[in-house]
Amino acid sequence: MRSFKILLYEDMDEAGKILLREKADILFAKSLEENSLIEEIREMEREEIQKKLDELKAEYARYISKSAAAGVHENPGKMREIRRTIARVLTIMNEK
């Protein structure tokens, strides 16, 4: 049985605190970027949204074909992000 040590922020050394803050900043910036994209899509007309959806699906298809040819996913995080963005766009279209 493994034992896990819980490391509190106060107990971290300065390098660990800096690393943790940098990761948090990256995640926060990424969420802001996604939110701004969604707000931008919400302001679009239905035809523009459909065009954006087609672009996203084409980009996803390119990633799928690349990974099928190579046998391994080049960037699985990017593929997941595209799938989620497609789902968000479809949700926005259904709202309109």
Q: In whole angstroms, how far apart are CA 16 and each of 7, 25, 28, 58?
A: 10, 14, 18, 41
Give the H or E element holding residue 15. helix 14-42
Q: What is the mean pLDDT of residues 45-69?
A: 88
Residues 22-38, mean pLDDT to the nearest whole number: 72
Distances (CA, A) of 17 to 4, 28, 30: 19, 16, 20
Enter the pTM of the model: 0.61
pLDDT of residue 43: 87
pLDDT value of residue 10 = 64
CA pair distance 73, 69, nearest whole angstrom? 10
* Full set of structural domains in the chain with CATH: 12-95 (1.10.287.310)
Determine the pLDDT at residue 50. Answer: 92
